[in-house]
Amino acid sequence: GRLEAVTQQMGYHPQYLDSFLKTQHYLMHMDGPLPFDCRHYIAIMAAARHQCRYLVNLHVLQFLRAGGDPQWLRGLEFIPPKLRNLNEINKILAHRPWLITKEHIEKLLKISEWSWSLAELVHAVVLLAHCHALASFVFGCGCEQDEGLGGRGSLKPLSLGNQCFCEATAGNSCSQELLRINRKRSLDSCMELDSLRERMQRIHVETEGRDEMRLLQQDREEGEGQGAEVGVQSGSSYGTPGWLSPLADTDGEVTGATNLACYMQDPDFGYQDFARRDEDQTQVFRVQDYSWEDHGFSLVNRLYSDIGHLLDEKFRMVDGLQSSAMAKRQGCEPSVFKRGIWNYIHCMFGIRYDDYDYAEVNQLLERMLKVYIKTVTCYPEKTNSEMFDRFWKQFKHSEKVHVNLLILEARMQAELLYALQAITQYMI
């Protein structure tokens, strides 16, 4: 239950918040193909691709509460090969989803003892897309800079006050059951924090000696001339022992690994502009050939029961949010304005709609808004407070949150379309 900053922002649109929370709860806590600890570790891997400490720290705590092996928090080298094999598709989905092919799917499904089932893979793909898109929302609304989660930035979005987000949205579709669950989680968090501290301190004591011996041995092998480099292994993703696992800081708070690079490989792999050239094998993804409504929904719902309905409700919910003020200021109908944003986001991932005139995008979206949308969508970790403040100065905070919700859902659907199409091609 450490999603206060995110839920406060989404609380400006309580009906969407209710749909989002139902989906996230189902993904993380209800019956499904994947074990609970693996779900949270996959979320850690996904959030790390965008250097989102907010989500990494959140899921580190939930991973431990789900009974996860603390040694896994030392990095990808310490997790089962089956999970580690997910790294490639995580990397591609996060930055260039158009590169996913049925060969990537086949590789995961046919690795002897470490193979994934189709149901497990669909669950994992939905989790990855969910967390990548949520990282965009976290950076876009400034939640990464939330002081309570160790943020370092200066972005200070409006707050709903000290009340629980459920209390702020009571009577607007946020159910009493949801209120009860979140209050219980808050109590559980307080009761479990001490035991988590003790567990992490024990891990620190147990590993400290081994790490010291390893570093001394490495020092002897490298020679005195390289003594200053002790602690950085060749080809390793981590440096000092303090980065090997989450530890209690000086204030007694349990924090996640400070070096997020230990949760990913090939950190230099990032977004590149999608461009269609005659000599390029990359093809434009045409929604007329493979859409969420006609293809993706039925596939994901068949392999991971009911998640299709929850995702579809969330897509429809963000499309139904009122945006008359935004549209009025742009001199167009609300549906036209929202479709312009949605199609612009999909266009950056190579997804095209044959029935849409893309000249409208330049007419509807001013330059600063386009820069903001592209940054939050494609490389959210580069979002800063100046960008947030500069776009649409005359617009309300709730309207800016609405734009970020559109980014979240459009990006998630784009990743799912590519992944599910590849799975479909494998199954044919």
Q: What is the pLDDT of residues 72-114, one digit of tens each?
A: 999 999 999 999 999 999 999 999 999 999 999 999 998 677 8
- Would you say residue 156 lies in a domain? no
Which amino acid, one-letter code, is at 5?
Answer: A
- Would you say residue 122 lies in a domain? yes
Lowest mean pLDDT among 120-134, 176-190, 399-413: 176-190
Q: Residue 425: what pLDDT?
A: 94
Instruction: Using the predicted structure, report yes or no on whether residue 198 has a pLDDT greater than 70.
Output: no
Mean pLDDT, residues 34-48 taken together: 97
Instruction: Using the predicted structure, report yes or no on whether residue 335 has a pLDDT greater than 90.
Output: no
Instruction: Using the predicted structure, report yes or no on whether residue 178 has a pLDDT greater than 70.
Output: no
Range of the domain at 49: 1-146+259-427
Give the torsion sign (CA, 392, 396, 397, 401): negative
User: Cβ(169)–Cβ(9) under 8 Å?
Assistant: no
* Half-sphere exposure for 40 (CA within 13 Å, toward CB): 23
Q: Which residue has the higher pLDDT, 212 or 141?
A: 141
Q: Residue 181: what pLDDT?
A: 46
pTM comes to 0.76
- Would you say how long the chain is, in residues? 428
Residues designated as active site: 52
- Distance CA(347)–CA(373), nearest Å, equals 12
- Would you say residue 337 lies in a domain? yes
State the average pLDDT for the chain.
77
The residues pairing with 248 across neighbouring beta strands, listed in sequence order, are 254
- Which residue, chain included where needed, has tokens 């799975």? 423
The residues pairing with 254 across neighbouring beta strands, listed in sequence order, are 248
- Would you say residue 312 lies in a domain? yes
Long-range own/partner contacts, residues 175-181 (CB < 8 A, 24 or more apart):
175/18, 178/18, 178/21, 181/25
Tell me which DSSP letter residue 98 carries.
G
Q: Which residues contact 199 (CB under 8 A, 6 or more apart)?
A: 64, 70
Number of domains in the chain: 1
Q: Which residues contact 220 (CB under 8 A, 6 or more apart)?
A: none
- Distance CA(187)–CA(38), nearest Å, equals 24
Q: Residue 304: what pLDDT?
A: 94
